Amino acid sequence: MFAWLVYVAYEVVLPVSLVDGYGYEPAAWGFLVWINPLLVTLFQLRLTRFAAPFAAAPKLVVALLLMGLPYLLLVATHSLAAIVVVLTVFVIGEMIWVPTSQAVVAELAPPDIRGAYMGAFGSAPAIGFALAPLIGLQIRNSFGDDATWILFASIGVVAAALGGLALAGVRRRISGGRSAVLKV
């Protein structure tokens, strides 16, 4: 859920902040948003292949930090170059996070109820899309853009820590008797 809050901040809160808070034209977001599909199209398979030898826990932690921490750059500067850096680093984290999180859920699910696990996992975005705008836009209206990005960077750190801890618990469970293919 925390990862989805960080993700939805990119999709919903960031454009509002850029236009209403930093004075960019709405068309500027329309131009910037293409960075995501371009990077995913060009690099998703390459990055996934490169990251394959690494265990899931560190990949998940790094991915979530790459998604959340770049928001702090928006506290320091609102320049177009900084926004491009934020978007680029965020997308790199997203490209690691999505396949890693899906693989973790699929590997941990008992084969006979894997669909239920994946269905529950698939409902998590709804929580992010409900809460991130509510929380983010309220914080923004009450405390400003800087507080909003500090909040979402902090949520990214919490997501990374919880994801890492959860997979550490899975590793202990697996090493305690249950065998699995999952590299945590």
pLDDT in tens, 132-149: 999 999 999 999 999 999
- Give CA–CA dist 138/135, Å, rounded: 5
**CATH topology for the 2-175 domain:** Growth Hormone; Chain: A; (1.20.1250)
pLDDT in tens, 10-55: 999 999 999 999 999 999 999 999 999 999 999 999 999 999 999 9
pLDDT in tens, 114-127: 999 999 999 999 99
- pLDDT value at residue 106: 87
Tokens of 39: 């990077």
- pLDDT value at residue 127: 94
Looking from the CA of 8 toward its CB, the CA atoms found within 13 Å total 20
The model's pTM is: 0.90
Each domain of the chain, given as residue ranges in start order, spans: 2-175
Which of 143, 134, 121, 132 lies closest to 2 in space, CA to CA? 132
Q: Helix, strand or coil for residue 176?
A: coil
Compute CA distances 30 → 18, 24, 38, 72, whole Å. 11, 11, 13, 22
